[in-house]
């Protein structure tokens, strides 16, 4: 085996290990963000909103099903503004583009954030989960380093990039509120 072949094999091995390690870190951070009983990480930022970041959906509060249905919305209802998506794009370009690329299609260990990759990953989940994973894992090497508003603005940019309609009200960086917005494919 030549030196070039060995070098190429080592590089591939390192990439695979980095992908596995990154996936494990993302999963651990997601579980920590999803479980209010786990102590907050040392990277938490002090810009907490007035409401807790732990889940408190109407169902968790014992609200009847009919109330839960009234407060649940879809990303197809226009849940962010054009201005918010523009702010999110600026944050994305500065903080996310290096890994997820200019066209949001990712590369190497960074996943694609558009089209089928996005809808397959997030279909049926809610914006609170997307927000929690972004906040607890991104940017790589510095999770929770952006403000809560910047994370929700990036979420608005991702919705715009995936063709979800613009609305008249901004998303707010409040996880319980975001949990009531469902990410869904357009029904045919």
Domains of the chain: 62-182 (1.10.760.10)
| Mean pLDDT on 56-61 | 40
pLDDT digits (tens, 9 = 90+) for 15-49: 544 554 555 555 455 555 554 443 343 333 334 33
Percentage of residues in the chain with pLDDT exceeding 70? 62
DSSP string for 76-131: GG--S-HHHHHHHHHHHHHHTHHHH-TTS--BTTBPP-SHHHHHHHHTT-BHHHHH
With beta carbons less than 8 A apart as the criterion, state whether 89 and 83 touch.
no
* Tokens matching residue 82: 């054009």
pLDDT confidence band for 60 (50 / 70 / 90):
very low
| Mean pLDDT on 54-63 | 40
Separation between Cα atoms, residue 30 and residue 131, nearest integer Å: 10
What is each CA distance from 92 to 21, 34, 143, in whole angstroms? Answer: 23, 24, 14
What is each CA distance from 89 to 104, 141, 150, 157, 183, in whole angstroms? Answer: 11, 20, 10, 6, 19
pLDDT confidence band for 69 (50 / 70 / 90):
very low
Separation between Cα atoms, residue 118 and residue 125, nearest integer Å: 11
More confident residue, 6 or 49: 6
More confident residue, 13 or 143: 143
With beta carbons less than 8 A apart as the criterion, state whether 96 and 138 touch.
yes
Supply the pLDDT for residue 108. Answer: 86
Length of the chain: 188
């Amino acid at each position: 085996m030549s030196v070039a072949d060995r070098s190429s094999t080592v590089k591939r091995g390192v990439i695979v290990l980095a992908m596995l390690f990154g996936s494990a870190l993302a999963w651990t951070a997601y579980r920590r963000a999803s479980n209010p009983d786990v102590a907050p990480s040392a990277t938490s930022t002090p810009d907490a909103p007035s409401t807790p970041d732990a889940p408190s959906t109407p169902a968790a509060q014992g609200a009847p099903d009919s109330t839960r249905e009234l407060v649940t919305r879809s990303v197809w209802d226009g849940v962010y503004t054009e201005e918010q998506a523009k702010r999110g794009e600026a944050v994305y370009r500065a903080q996310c583009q290096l890994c997820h690329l200019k066209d949001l299609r990712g590369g190497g260990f960074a996943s694609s954030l558009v089209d089928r990759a996005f809808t397959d990953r997030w279909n049926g989940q809610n914006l609170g989960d997307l927000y929690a994973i972004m906040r607890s894992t991104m940017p790589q090497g510095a999770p929770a380093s952006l403000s809560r508003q910047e994370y929700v603005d990036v979420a608005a940019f991702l919705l715009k990039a995936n063709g979800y309609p613009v609305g008249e009200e901004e998303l707010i960086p409040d996880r319980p509120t975001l949990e009531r917005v469902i990410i869904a494919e357009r029904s045919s």
